[in-house]
Structure 1
């Protein structure tokens, strides 16, 4: 019987926490443990959980991308307000 990698479970749980309770910290842990889990699963044939590791990676990376897009939108919005204020 194959057992599930604890790092894959950690990656998935932290990826979910990255979207709820621990926005950046959870995502960072999800990405790191996701990569470690995938490497461990490739090295050890009796381990399973690659799908959970990938899900944790996706959740972590999407959270980082959403944060960067949100920051860019805020900067553009407030930059536009400053520009409008100085143009008149």
Structure 2
């Protein structure tokens, strides 16, 4: 029985690459691309019924992408709270 080896999902590789890039070069865009392609890859792997591999790559890309987006949202919230608080204090002293 000669069964072909499963091929690695291209979307899973792209997800991992952009998940890594989201932390160094492309903060928000990289995170969004990593999340979208990670979900696309997981669907492709599920539908592939053993002919498509790369689930671990897709999951790693998803984790890196979602974590990057979460950190970005938290950073914006802290920024707004800090400067909003300063604006409120300056308004209260006048």
Fold similarity call, TM over 0.5: yes
Larger radius of gyration, structure 1 or 2?
2
Deviation at 1:56, TM superposition (A): 0.6
Deviation at 1:64, TM superposition (A): 0.9
SS at 2:23's partner residue? coil
Q: Where do 4+ consecutive residues of structure 1 move more than 4 Å?
A: none
Deviation at 1:3, TM superposition (A): 2.0
Aligned Cα root-mean-square deviation (Å)? 0.9
- Match among 59, 66, 70 for residue 65 of structure 1: 70
Gaps of 5+ in 2: none
Question: Deviation string for 1:31-86 (max 9, x for gaps)?
Answer: 11101100000011211110110111111111111111001101110111111112
Paired residues in the alignment total 88
Deviation at 1:15, TM superposition (A): 0.6
Gaps of 5+ in 1: none
